[in-house]
Copies of this chain bind each other. A is one copy, B any other.
């Protein structure tokens, strides 16, 4: 039997039932009566809830649309592949020789699925609180900056992609106004396309106002 102690140390969790960790690490190509797909199914839902609740508490003023977007940026194959690599899951996975020769241990889908299965297995054996503690710790270590700012950047990027496709131009952001005392400044930004104003928005920083303006412009252009 393999030694899982290093993996368990990285997880900060010791499996009571070793069959559970074995199942979580078994790719379907290995042709055993079990594989990690069922645990992956469970782990996927566990992680959706854990990350959803984490964001729900962390951003008490954000609406459901924002929360969904941040979650989607964390809960996906590339995000989980990152966590799987940190745990070095690849070297533990049981897989067929063919899959092995096909660089299977390094495939994002394999790694991401094994990570979900591991979390599913911990949930089954130890419950939600333990699975939550372990997942959030891993997540915070790999995403030191989960914040609205880094999310909102996506609006500017998305707007630029859209306008280049539809109008062949890049949007411009213009400062229309700034007011208020230093500790409570407010900025008004207009986003323009070919000198035509598409949207304006206020914010506590230029960056915030730009991001809000981009979001509004996106809605406007898609309407």
Contacts and interface: CB of A to CB of B under 8 A. Distances in A.
Contacts of A40: 64
Interface stretch (A45-53, A104-112, A162-170): A45-53
A192 B68 CA distance: 45
Contacts of A44: 52
A64 B38 contact: yes
Contacts of A63: 37-38
Interface of A: 37-38, 40-42, 44-46, 48-49, 52-53, 56, 62-64, 67-68, 128
Given A45-B45, A128-B128, A38 B52 contact: no
Given A38-B56, A44-B52, A45-B53, 18 more contacts: A37-B63, A37-B64, A38-B63, A38-B64, A38-B67, A41-B52, A41-B56, A41-B64, A41-B67, A42-B52, A42-B53, A42-B56, A45-B45, A45-B48, A46-B49, A48-B48, A48-B49, A49-B49
A52 B56 contact: no
A37 B67 CA distance: 10
Nearest to A63: B37
A46 B53 CA distance: 9
A62 to B, nearest CB: 8
Q: Which 8 A-B pairs have the closest CB atoms?
A: A37-B64, A45-B49, A41-B64, A45-B52, A45-B48, A49-B49, A128-B128, A42-B56
A204 B63 CA distance: 51
Contacts of A68: 41
A122 to B, nearest CB: 13
Nearest to A28: B63
Nearest to A44: B52
A45 B64 CA distance: 12
A90 to B, nearest CB: 21
18 contacts: A38-B56, A38-B62, A38-B63, A38-B64, A38-B67, A40-B64, A41-B52, A41-B64, A41-B67, A42-B52, A42-B56, A45-B45, A45-B48, A45-B49, A45-B52, A45-B53, A49-B49, A128-B128
